[in-house]
Amino acid sequence: MTNSSPGIPALWSGQAHMPSVLGRQLVIVEGTGAYVTTSAGQTLLDATSGLWHANIGHGRTEIADAVAAQIRKLETYHVFGRFANEVALTLAERLVKLAPVDNAKVIMTSGGSDSADLAFKLARRHWQVQGRPDKRIILSRERSYHGLHAFGTSVTGIEFNREGYGGPSLVPETRRVPTHDLDGIAAVVAEVGAENIAAIVAEPIMGTGGVIPPAPGFLPGLQKLANDNDILFIADEVITGFGRAGAMFACERFGVQPDMVLMAKGLTSGYLPLGGLLVAPGIWGRFYRENAPVFRHGLTYSGHATASVAAHANIDILEKEFLVERSAALESVLHDALSSLSSASGVREVRSGVGFMAGVELDEGVNGEAVSEHCIDAGVIIRCLPGNTMQICPPFIVTEDEIDRIAETLTTAIETVNARPTAAARGV
């Protein structure tokens, strides 16, 4: 076989309008600390940590060494049935100690979308074995993002990710609720009937939907609403976990103890693909007893030994270098650096100061994609999220000067694009 479309890459990129990608692909070949280098030799300050993943920064040789040693010993062995591998077992013990849930068990996956798929399946399975088979509907919030597997595609509150597959929901029995309005959520619960609802899922700080922190009291209120109605409460900590919210898990910060917690990204800081799900005793208890049913879930790479070693080495770095504490300290530095943008022309809202992450929402008439391009040309990677919001979430090892540079670059880019007479926001 040949590639009969020479010059057109065989790689079909993610979330990409392919004709717009051709000829202007940014190929990243190397990364060190908070910087990455392109194949054209440009060095870029990575203000988005890739896709929110590179919490400890790029190019850590400790992880490379640990991974190489593990592959020499055993690449992996599966964890189906009575098989397990040593590293998956020790990682699970470690995660349980860090978990924001008492006495949790851990199921490992290959990434965030896997973790979402698993959590929603387990929520439904839980109610089946409890003898409440009608409890099947998964509630998720408007603007939410839980990956793009079939279940994630079905529950996302970012509409364009749901569209185009025919039918209202790729996996049936899902429903959207308001982002922050507890009364509005209670109204949906009343309308749908708690007896039909398996779970509600929430990102503690919404990420891809535009970096939206929870309204004060929202998360404890949501947990109470869920508990009062026998609805499982699932926290999606794929972005916020492992330090991004200034604590190991955002649930600690906001004082909630969910029934399940999704993990990925910062679990390995992206050094190898790995995700997981923390499960509270109220769910796992039924599956660990004599005469217990089987939960038929599992992936060849659940608990992949080499990915688990990368997670261990990543958590070692977070702990030894006090990077979670550093993330907490940098939260206000980023907030201060962006503060003058609140009143800048072309800016609708700056959302910062909750977690080491920020979203700068632009007016509709300011083209966020053009702002992103301008930032990249000036040497800083800043991405445009849905809702015309610029995403900023640097690695935790970034310096205060680099945070200033990020803010200055973004300010100049917005000024430049805003000054263009024909600027029109596309929103992505």
Count residues near ligand PLP (CB under 6 A). Answer: 15
Residue 238 lies near ligand PLP (rule: CB under 6 A): yes
Between CA 246 and CA 97 the distance in angstroms is: 18
CB of 393 to ligand PLP, least distance (A): 11
**Torsions phi, psi for 82 (to 5 deg):** -85, 0
Q: Which is nearer to ligand PLP, 231 or 264 (CB)?
A: 264
**113 binding ligand PLP? (CB under 6 A):** yes
Q: Which is nearer to ligand PLP, 91 or 264 (CB)?
A: 264
- Of 200 and 341, CB closest to ligand PLP: 200
| Angle of helix 112-129 versus helix 281-288 axis, rounded to 10 | 70
Task: Confirm or reject binding of residue 138 to ligand PLP (CB under 6 A).
Answer: no
| Shortest distance (Å) from residue 286 CB to ligand PLP | 26
- Of positions 50, 57, 100, 112, contacts ligand PLP by CB under 6 A: 112
Closest approach of ligand PLP to the CB of residue 190, in Å = 27
Smallest gap from Cβ 171 to ligand PLP, in A, equals 15
Check: CB of residue 305 under 8 Å from CB of residue 70.
yes
Nearer residue to ligand PLP within complex by CB, 374 or 383: 383
Q: Which stretch binds ligand PLP (CB under 6 A): 141-149, 156-164, 278-286, 303-311?
A: 141-149
Among the candidate windows 142-150, 317-325, 337-345, 380-388, which touches ligand PLP by CB under 6 A? 142-150
20: left (phi over 0), alpha (psi -120 to 50) or beta: alpha
* Residue 208 engages ligand PLP in binding (rule: CB under 6 A): yes
Task: Decide if residue 202 touches ligand PLP (CB under 6 A).
Answer: no
| 203 vs 52: CA distance, rounded Å | 14
The span of 36-44, 233-241, 291-299, 311-319 binding ligand PLP (CB under 6 A) equals: 233-241
Q: What is the footprint of ligand PLP within residues 52-111 (CB under 6 A)?
A: 111
Q: Which member of 116, 278, 406, 417 binds ligand PLP (CB under 6 A)?
A: 116
Q: Is 179 in the site for ligand PLP (CB under 6 A)?
A: no
Residue facing ligand PLP at closest CB distance: 112
- State how far the Cα of 271 lies from the Cα of 59, in Å rounded to an integer: 9
Chain Cα centroid distance, residue 167: 26
Q: Rule CB under 6 A: say whether 145 interacts with ligand PLP.
A: yes
In the 3-class helix/strand/coil scheme, how is 204-249 assigned residue by residue?
Answer: CCECCCCCECCCCCHHHHHHHHHHHCCCEEEEECCCCCCCCCCCCC
- Exposure string for 130-168, b = 16+ CB within 10 A, e = fewer: eeeeebbbbbbbbbbbbbebbbbbbbbbbeebbeeeeee
> What is the DSSP code string of 318-385?
HHHTTHHHHHHHHHHHHHHHHGGGGGSTTEEEEE-SSSS-EEEEEPTTS-HHHHHHHHHHTTEE-EEE
Task: Spell out the residues 6+ positions from residue 132 whose beta carbon is closer than 8 angstroms to its own.
Answer: 195
Would you say 301 or 337 has its CB closer to ligand PLP?
Answer: 301
Residues lying near ligand PLP in the complex (CB under 6 A):
51, 111-113, 116, 145-147, 203, 207-208, 236, 238-239, 264
